[in-house]
Amino acid sequence: METRIRTLDDGARAVSPEALQALRAAFRGPILRSGDPGYDEARQLWNAMIDRRPALIVRCTGTADVIAAIAFVREHGLLSSVKGGGHNIAGLAVCEGGVVIDMSLMRGVWVDAAGRTARAQAGCTLGDVDRETQLHGLAAVLGFVSATGIAGLTTGGGYGYLTRGHGWTCDNVMSMEVVTAQGQVLRASASENQELFWCLRGGSGNFGIVTSFEYQLYPVGPEIMGGVVAWPAADAPRVLEFFREFTAASPRELTCVALMRTAPPAPWLPKEIHGKPIIAVFACYSGSVEEGARAVAPLKAFGKPVADILVRRPYAQMQSLVDATQPKGRRYYWKSEYLADLEPGALQVVAAQAALMPSPHSAIILFQIGGALNELPAGHSPAGNRDALFNCNIASSWESAAGDAANIEWTRGAWQAIKPFSTGGVYLNFLTEDEGSERTRAAYGAANFERLAAMKHKYDPGNLFRHTKGLVAG
């Protein structure tokens, strides 16, 4: 029987059983169609707002599979998407009716402890990499939730607790192996295919399919000083003012994240606060535990916290501390802006908007970034935004479709209120489905966007890789 697959020009093509058989012969991993065991699991994304049914899911087991998948979609003119950890809020990893090139079976990690580098295959989660590097007391610059995929995070920029010390995740990539739209396998680094290397450090999935990343590693842990302190939301104005002063003076080894939300029924929070609004500050000191204890002492001593689990703990545990609050399969909608400072007006907006939050799972989050990332020139990599000191994310999360309207409306309202304080930039990896080319341009800045768009013509003139936050190619 023929398989109807969506084409690049938004039509559909009936692909013959022979053509599919030829793909199976060239491909080592599983190839799934609707109704096959594993199909629904493989198409499911972190964000349940996005529910798409691809015609085929090709699950790559190595670079040769990626080459075969690209050849298949190119030869038949088919729409495709690339799936790493499936965490992209806009659901870019899965295309409707097309071919999903699924990298999530490729999860090998090789650490060179002496050279302080690690090579990780593109299907790895952040947790996969931390797990192996921490065996050596080393860490890559990754994000805050362990189930997030490294590939989308790294190619879109990437930040976490080590960013203040070392820059965006993509600033800390030594090399990548990539398969281009023409099916060529290239190594991109500061000395090989430099232009392509530049594009891949922020240009997301527009330039090829990365099969592995080589990360610079830094000594961290295995134990660090990290965790969270929480206060009742009534204390938010004072805590936020303290957060502003504390973060302005903190060393680069210390990164803090403030968030306002409803207290979840977590064991670290006293029962009487469950379901009530709180303000919490997460902190991670990536240097020695002793220095860390001194650095976080003022935070622990501030006001009258309702909970304090800012303690000596394994770095790997720190890296998964908020995992339970971000489960796969809930409905999510975000709006975010970079801030160059924490102006008093912005902090008032955060406290006032948090009080209106309709869902107990939602949060307004202020991620501290800045530091080393501010020191590189704007054009160092497309991730840009070298003026950002904080990322403010209005992160809505709720259980069922009945809550869509109220939660989206609140998110948009809070976003409008925080926008006047923005640098004008936004994090590419936090853009939702309904954000278009103007927001993509804002994510890169005009100069980086123009340079990327020109490079897109060179590396992917047919716009094969188009299920992305786009750089429209002719």
For ligand FAD, the closer CB: 211 or 422:
211
d(CA 144, CA 298): 23
Start-to-end Cα distance in the chain = 35
d(CA 169, CA 210): 15
Cα 88 to the center of its chain, rounded Å: 7
Q: Using CB under 6 A, pick the residue from 67, 357, 468, 473 that binds ligand FAD.
A: 468
Four-residue CA torsion sign, 80, 396, 369, 422 = positive
For ligand FAD, the closer CB: 49 or 151:
151
Q: Which of 101, 81, 85 is nearest to 32 (CA)?
A: 101
What does the per-residue mask of binding to ligand FAD show for 201-240, with x meaning CB under 6 A? ---xx---xx------------------------------
Shortest distance in whole angstroms from residue 18 CB to ligand FAD: 29
Q: Using CB under 6 A, pick the residue from 27, 144, 338, 410 that binds ligand FAD.
A: 144
Size, binding site for ligand FAD by CB under 6 A? 35
For ligand FAD, the closer CB: 147 or 293:
147
Site for ligand FAD in 251-310 (CB under 6 A): none
For ligand FAD, the closer CB: 31 or 179:
179
Strands 56-59 and 99-102: parallel
Site for ligand FAD in 243-262 (CB under 6 A): none
For ligand FAD, the closer CB: 351 or 448:
448
What does the per-residue mask of binding to ligand FAD show for 58-97, with x meaning CB under 6 A? -----------------------xxxxxxxxx--xx----
Site for ligand FAD in 120-139 (CB under 6 A): 122
> How distant, in Å, are the alpha carbons of 13, 130, 155, 265 from that of 110?
41, 12, 20, 38
Q: Which of 179, 90, 162 is nearest to 126 (CA)?
A: 162
429 binds ligand FAD (CB under 6 A): yes
Shortest distance in whole angstroms from residue 153 CB to ligand FAD: 4
Q: Which of 133, 145, 162, 153 is nearest to 210 (CA)?
A: 153
For ligand FAD, the closer CB: 155 or 411:
155
**What burial class does residue 290 get, using C-beta atoms within 10 Å of its C-beta: 0-12 exposed, 13-18 middle, 19+ buried?**
exposed
Question: Which amino acid would we find at residue 319?
Answer: Q
Is 32:3 a contact under the CB 8 Å cutoff?
Answer: no
Q: Which residues bind ligand FAD (CB under 6 A)?
A: 46, 81-89, 92-93, 103, 122, 143-145, 148-149, 151-153, 155-156, 158-160, 204-205, 209-210, 326, 429, 467-468
